[in-house]
């Protein structure tokens, strides 16, 4: 599928590319409302769409369909691109194209995500974009949950439900020089931290008060089992047993 030449009636081996200066000049005309320039800009960036589509060659969907959806993402990127920012168009467009394709594949998969869950995920992503523009910094999931008035755990679950498992080493774009890896597009690990915090908090809530007390003294305050046994009035063996049981229960819950 990845070696296919004719896609949607287009000979991909003959797709043109633009030099950076030509790209900038054409984009200026596009933003001024020049329809012919817009059509040319779309056509000259179809090779970019094709390079993104190749990462989805292991899917059972038709490459023609994926390519068409990728072009929808390209058009959205063109319409929303801000020329005043010092950002290459390809840097902005690639995640947009990937997102459009992944939404298409997600909505057409046999594993269905509920409409309400998809709606929360969509609102979460829109809120993130809005807060990012307002603050010029990555918003936390707590900020996003507050902005869309949805409980934090539902935001986390929605993002997890619509996310595919991919390798951080997976290339998402290659212009013939240096490949852009998924890890290059990740700003921080706040989402992972939030998921871990929520899971740990829920696991701790199921422990007895004594087990919570022992874990607090052992791993937060840093006391030894002997010191804990002397302080709460039980044997060191009992402290060891309660600690072990608590840790096993937490592992089971996580």
pLDDT digit string (tens) for 128-155? 888 888 888 888 888 888 899 988 878 8
Structural domain range at position 244: 206-253
- pLDDT at 211 exceeding the cut of 80: yes
- pLDDT at 186 exceeding the cut of 70: no
pLDDT in tens, 229-251: 888 899 988 999 999 888 888 88
Instruction: Identify the weakest region by mean pLDDT among 53-57, 67-71, 102-106, 183-187.
Output: 183-187
**105 with 173, same domain?**
no
Percent of the chain whose predicted confidence (pLDDT) is above 70:
76
Could you give the C-alpha distances from 100 to 61, 62, 97, in angstroms and in order?
Answer: 14, 15, 5
Domain count, the chain: 3
Instruction: Choose the final residue of a domain: 90, 111, 132.
Output: 111
What is the CATH number for 130? 1.10.10
**32 with 128, same domain?**
no
Average pLDDT over residues 157-167: 62
Nearest Cα to Cα of residue 171 among 161, 186, 181 = 181
Structure token pair of residue 135: 């603050």
Backbone angles phi, psi at 171, to 5 degrees: -75, 135
At residue 195, the pLDDT reads 57
Return the higher-pLDDT residue of 104 and 194. 104
Which DSSP string corresponds to 59-80? SSS-HHHHHHHHHHHHHHHHHH
Residue 192's pLDDT band (cuts 50, 70, 90): low
Structure token pair of residue 49: 């769409």
Average pLDDT over residues 98-126: 75
Nearest Cα to Cα of residue 27 among 69, 70, 85 = 85
pLDDT in tens, 213-234: 898 888 877 788 888 888 889 9
**245 with 197, same domain?**
no
CB 121 within 8 A of CB 162: yes
Q: What whole-number distance in Å separates Cα of residue 254 and Cα of residue 252?
A: 6
User: Torsion-angle region of residue 161: left (phi > 0), alpha (psi -120 to 50) or beta?
Assistant: alpha
Q: What whole-number distance in Å separates Cα of residue 230 and Cα of residue 180?
A: 57
**101 with 91, same domain?**
yes
**169 with 138, same domain?**
yes
Instruction: Choose the final residue of a domain: 73, 89, 111.
Output: 111
CB 140 within 8 A of CB 105: no
């Amino acid at each position: 599928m990845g070696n296919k030449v004719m896609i949607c009636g287009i000979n991909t081996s003959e797709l043109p590319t633009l030099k950076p200066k030509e790209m900038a000049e054409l984009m200026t005309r596009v933003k001024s409302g020049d329809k012919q320039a817009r059509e040319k800009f779309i056509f000259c960036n179809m090779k970019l769409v094709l390079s993104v589509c190749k990462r989805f060659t292991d899917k059972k969907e038709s490459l023609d369909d994926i390519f068409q959806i990728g072009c929808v993402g390209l058009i959205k990127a063109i319409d929303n691109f801000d020329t005043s920012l010092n950002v290459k168009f390809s840097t902005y467009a690639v995640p947009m194209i990937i997102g459009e394709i992944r939404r298409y594949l997600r909505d057409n998969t046999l594993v269905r995500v509920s409409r309400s869950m998809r709606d929360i995920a969509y609102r979460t992503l829109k809120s993130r974009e809005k807060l990012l523009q307002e603050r010029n910094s990555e918003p936390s999931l707590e900020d996003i949950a507050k902005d869309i008035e949805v409980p934090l755990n539902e935001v986390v679950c929605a993002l997890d439900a619509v996310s595919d498992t991919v390798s951080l080493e997976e290339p998402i774009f290659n212009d013939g020089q240096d490949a852009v890896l998924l890890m290059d597009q990740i700003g921080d690990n706040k989402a992972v931290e939030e998921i871990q915090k929520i899971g740990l908090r829920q696991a701790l809530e199921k422990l007895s008060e004594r087990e919570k007390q022992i874990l607090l003294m052992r791993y937060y305050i840093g006391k030894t089992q002997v010191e804990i046994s002397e302080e709460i009035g039980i044997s060191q063996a009992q402290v060891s047993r309660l600690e072990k049981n608590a840790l096993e229960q937490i592992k089971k819950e996580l």
